[in-house]
Amino acid sequence: MTLLFYLLRTPKTLVELEMAHIMNWASKNKMTLNLLKTVEIVVHRCNVSRDMLPPIMHSVSRVAVAKLLGVHLRHDLNFSQQVESVIASCNQRLYLLA
């Protein structure tokens, strides 16, 4: 709860302001936001400089790959990891059938 009030009082960026809105919405709807499992993924082109990315929030870790509803999402929208995961799963199931 202390983090929620801190974000609401002193939002430094638009990203932190949006995070404060999400946390406020969750608390109004009697839900909790697990900050240990919350990650941020910034989708951008490969040729974009790191200086142009938004600043990192202190309570949320930034990752290059995130798994959302069973789908691997990469920061450059490359789905090779998702395809490899599906192929590995299919290979395991075909092995059981053989």
For the chain, give every domain's residue range. 2-97
What whole-number distance in Å separates Cα of residue 62 and Cα of residue 44?
13
Phi, psi values for residue 51, rounded to 5°? -70, -25
Q: What percent of the chain has pLDDT over 70?
A: 80
To the nearest 10 degrees (0 to 180), the angle between helices 2-9 and 14-28 is 130
What's the pLDDT tens digit per position in 26-72? 999 999 888 888 888 887 777 777 666 666 777 778 888 888 888 88
Q: Which residue has the higher pLDDT, 60 or 23?
A: 23
Q: Supply the pLDDT for residue 51.
A: 67
0.75 cut: is pTM over it?
no
Does residue 2 carry a pLDDT above 80?
no
Q: Supply the pLDDT for residue 70.
A: 87
